[in-house]
């Protein structure tokens, strides 16, 4: 029985006519390269690493609601700029783009808002644009959401800036600032296609924590290692791992 429910709500017309972009459990987006890996005693691979697998299946995935055209670090009238466009608007006026999403108009952060932040340099010191998400995300009382790029499955062209939102009290759409990978693509002209996974949503309970540093007796450390190396393969999975459920 599931006590914790996360809700993704939007306008009826969006839900009924856009089934292909509805949020889904992250476990439905395990990358093909991982699925193709074999793991055995003779050939041990990351496919046998449960901590790695847990990153791929934890939480939920948001997908691009529409095609986003991007021209990043291109020269317009002698000045470097980044522009975004959609089918609703031609690319004739990159800096002035509207109607990118169901949720509103174009949105971005000026450079001065991230002064000194490494993300700004990675983004070629250009404005940080946002992807406008059409879904309101609601969690039970006392629960927030961590929003990160898809863990160990990030698009090499861009990634959102991670954030935490108290989704039990915040009842509006959450828009996601993203950074172009300027370290790889000094100039980038591309389309982020509708349906592309771009955010991993991980709900968690807000609790108070206190850090503690302590020493351990050598005997306890040795016992722990003994328990870990009982088997030739899948030691962590057999001795320590708990299966999680995300539906």
**57-72 pLDDT per residue, tens:** 999 999 998 888 888 9
| CB contact burial 49-62 (16+ within 10 A = b; e otherwise) | ebeebbbbbbbbbb
- The answer to whether position 215 is within a domain reads no
- The answer to whether position 232 is within a domain reads no
Of 11-25, 98-112, 213-227, the one with minimum mean pLDDT is 98-112
Q: Tell me which DSSP letter residue 178 carries.
A: E
- The answer to whether position 80 is within a domain reads yes
- Between CA 67 and CA 84 the distance in angstroms is 10
DSSP H helices, 2-133, are 12-17, 32-36, 50-57, 118-122
Residue 97 backbone phi and psi in degrees, to 5: -115, 140
- Between CA 150 and CA 159 the distance in angstroms is 9
pLDDT score recorded for residue 118: 94
Q: For residues 160 and 40, is the Cβ–Cβ distance under 8 A?
A: no
Q: What is the pTM of this model?
A: 0.86
Q: Tell how far CA 167 is from the center of its chain.
A: 16
- The answer to whether position 40 is within a domain reads no
- The answer to whether position 24 is within a domain reads no
Say how many domains are in the chain.
1
- The answer to whether position 118 is within a domain reads yes
Strand-pair partners of 189 = 71
- The answer to whether position 121 is within a domain reads yes
- Between CA 70 and CA 85 the distance in angstroms is 7
Q: How many CB atoms lie within 10 A of CB 114?
A: 19
- Between CA 57 and CA 76 the distance in angstroms is 42
Q: Tell me which DSSP letter residue 96 carries.
A: S
pLDDT score recorded for residue 93: 41
pLDDT digits (tens, 9 = 90+) for 138-147: 999 999 999 9
Q: For residue 58, what are its two tokens?
A: 């934890």
Q: With 90 as the cut, is the pLDDT of residue 55 above it?
A: yes
- The answer to whether position 238 is within a domain reads no
Query: Computed from CA positions of residues 82, 88, 89, 95, in that sequence, does the dihedral angle turn out positive or negative?
Result: negative
Mean pLDDT, range 164-173, rounded to an integer = 96
The CATH number that applies at residue 162 is: 2.70.40
Structural domain harbouring 113: 7-18+60-205
């Amino acid at each position: 029985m599931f006590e914790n429910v996360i809700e993704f709500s939007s306008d009826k017309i969006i839900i009924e006519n856009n089934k292909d972009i509805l949020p889904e459990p992250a476990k439905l987006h395990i990358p093909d390269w991982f699925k193709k890996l074999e793991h055995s005693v003779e050939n041990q691979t990351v496919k046998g690493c449960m901590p790695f697998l847990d990153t791929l299946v934890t939480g939920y995935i948001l997908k691009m609601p529409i095609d986003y055209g991007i021209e990043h670090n291109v020269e317009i009238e002698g000045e470097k700029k980044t522009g975004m466009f959609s089918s609703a608007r031609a690319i004739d006026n990159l800096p002035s783009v509207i109607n990118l999403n169901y949720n509103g108009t174009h949105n971005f952060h000026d450079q001065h808002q991230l002064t000194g932040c490494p993300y700004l340099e990675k983004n070629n010191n250009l404005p940080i644009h946002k992807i406008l998400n059409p879904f309101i995300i609601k969690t039970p009382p006392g629960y927030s959401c961590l929003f990160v790029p898809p863990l160990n499955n990030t698009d090499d062209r861009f990634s959102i800036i991670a954030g935490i939102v108290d989704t039990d009290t915040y009842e509006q759409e959450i828009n996601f600032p993203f950074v172009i990978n300027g370290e790889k693509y000094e100039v980038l002209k591309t389309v982020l296609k509708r349906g592309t996974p771009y955010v991993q949503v991980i709900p968690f309970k807000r609790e108070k924590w206190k850090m503690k540093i302590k020493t351990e007796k050598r005997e306890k450390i040795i016992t722990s290692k003994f328990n870990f190396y009982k088997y030739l393969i899948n030691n962590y999975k057999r001795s320590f791992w708990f299966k999680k459920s995300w539906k």
